[in-house]
């Protein structure tokens, strides 16, 4: 999970696991889009409960290993997970994009074009037109502890419009992190300018905070405060959705127990749920990382093998159900509001029509009476 390439461009594909994903040419309303500080799918709020699987591309390159990907997706959907986040690897090595600024910009743009305009070999749909791709992440875990001005990521206003010109509707995002010693205490506007965020669907992530000499309770309290603070920033300052796209607890930590990991998951899930329930900016979270049986070489301590960890899997599936319920609740309220509005319009039209018919009939009677009086006068 630790970042290995400081400024290496990594295209992050966040995949929407939905029934419609089987069909390449989906209507525009099948894309998840932003509306204020919420994600919306088909006119209804969309809340993501998902996972990280950075290894998808690596494993898929070996045909004999591909069943592991199918197994991971089956287990994910069985537990209600709807979004998976993966990495576009093969970018030229650890220092491939660090020669000088101009070549870096050109190579980033070239890689971006190559990934975004690639056609899905199964459906024929270009990635930029595929609603099953939830979002594109410009860079993995950007940070520079010696520069809190935000100048280090000023390349983003150049890259963002370039991608926007190619890409249809999917989200575009850049992360801010707390990870180990790289905890960012600076306010968001210092890190990334407000002008930049006008171009982005905000996506943020964090890992289990490592606070030396702190108790588990202190770390969870820090995490609670951090989530509250940044959720508020997303809602009231940036006006963008917030996603926690990496979180977890390492089994390699001293004194680790599965109950500690479950407590961390519960803390993050509870904050996301409470925010979603109250209409806040938190739109979901993705744990790090999902693995399946037979992937021991990729175990990093944070792995969650759903078939092995029934208690954690139960917590994950419960969160999925809760977020799905909130989404349906908002959708039902929206439908009721639409029906109420429709009925009000129909009632108003009915009343207007009745009044119009009364006027017409009255005018007709008056004219007929006038005509009858005129005819009677002429007869006399």
Catalytic residues, which ones?
141, 246
Say if residues 182 and 146 touch (Cβ distance below 8 Å): no
Distance of alpha carbon 188 from alpha carbon 322, whole angstroms: 29
Can you give the three-state secondary structure of the chain, one letter per residue?
A: CCCCCCCCCCEEEEEECCHHHHCCCCCHHHCEEEECCEEEECCEECCEEEEECCCHHHHHCCHHHHHHHHHHHHHHHHCCCCEEEEEECCCCCCCCCCCCHHHHHHHHHHHHHHHHCCECCCCCCEHHHCCCEEEEECCCCCCCCCCCCCHHHCCHHHHHHHHHHHCCCCEEECCCCCCCCCCCCCCHHHHCCHHHHCCCCCCECCCCCCCCCCCHHHHHHHHHHHHHHHHHHHHHHHCCCEEECCCCCCCCCCCCCHHHHHHHHHHHHHHHHHHHHCCCCEEEEEECCEECCCCHHHCCCCCEECCCCHHHHHHHHHHHHHHHHHHHHHHHHHHHHHHHHHHHHHHHHHHHHHHHHHHHHHHHHHHHHHHHHHHHHHHC
Whether the Cβ atoms of residue 239 and residue 255 lie closer than 8 Å to each other: no
């Amino acid at each position: 999970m630790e970042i290995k390439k400081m400024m290496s461009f990594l295209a992050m594909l966040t995949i929407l696991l939905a029934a419609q994903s089987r069909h390449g040419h989906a209507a525009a309303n099948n894309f998840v889009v932003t509306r204020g500080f919420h994600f919306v799918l088909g006119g209804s709020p969309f809340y993501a409960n998902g996972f990280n699987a950075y290894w998808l591309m690596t494993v898929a390159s070996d045909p004999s290993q591909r069943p592991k990907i199918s197994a991971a997706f089956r287990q994910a959907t069985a537990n209600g997970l709807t979004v998976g986040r993966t990495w576009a690897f093969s970018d030229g090595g650890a220092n491939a994009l660090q020669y000088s600024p101009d070549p870096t910009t050109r190579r980033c743009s070239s890689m971006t074009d190559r990934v975004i305009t690639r056609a899905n070999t199964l459906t024929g749909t270009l990635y930029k037109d595929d609603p099953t791709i939830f979002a594109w992440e410009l860079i993995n875990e950007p940070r520079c502890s010696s520069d809190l001005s935000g100048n280090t990521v000023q390349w983003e206003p150049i890259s963002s419009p370039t991608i926007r010109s190619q890409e249809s509707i999917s989200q575009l995002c850049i992360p801010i992190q707390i990870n180990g010693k790289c905890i960012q205490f600076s306010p968001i506007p210092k890190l990334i300018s407000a002008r930049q965020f006008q171009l982005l669907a905000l996506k943020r992530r964090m890992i289990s905070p490592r606070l030396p000499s702190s108790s588990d309770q202190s770390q969870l309290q820090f995490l609670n405060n951090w989530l509250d603070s940044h959720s508020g920033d997303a809602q009231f300052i940036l006006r963008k959705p917030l996603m926690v796209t990496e979180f977890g607890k390492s089994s390699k930590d001293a004194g680790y127990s599965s109950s500690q990991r479950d407590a961390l998951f519960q803390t993050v899930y509870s904050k996301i749920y409470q925010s979603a329930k109250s209409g806040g900016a938190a739109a979901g979270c993705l744990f790090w990382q999902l693995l399946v049986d037979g992937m021991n070489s990729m175990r990093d301590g944070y792995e969650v093998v759903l078939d092995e960890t029934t208690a954690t899997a139960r917590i994950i599936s419960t969160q999925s159900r809760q977020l799905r319920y909130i989404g349906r609740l908002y959708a039902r309220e929206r439908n009721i509001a639409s029906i109420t509005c429709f009925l009000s319009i129909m009632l108003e039209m009915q009343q207007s029509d009745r009044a119009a018919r009364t006027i017409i009939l009255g005018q007709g009677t008056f004219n007929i009476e006038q005509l009858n009086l005129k005819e009677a006068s002429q007869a006399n």
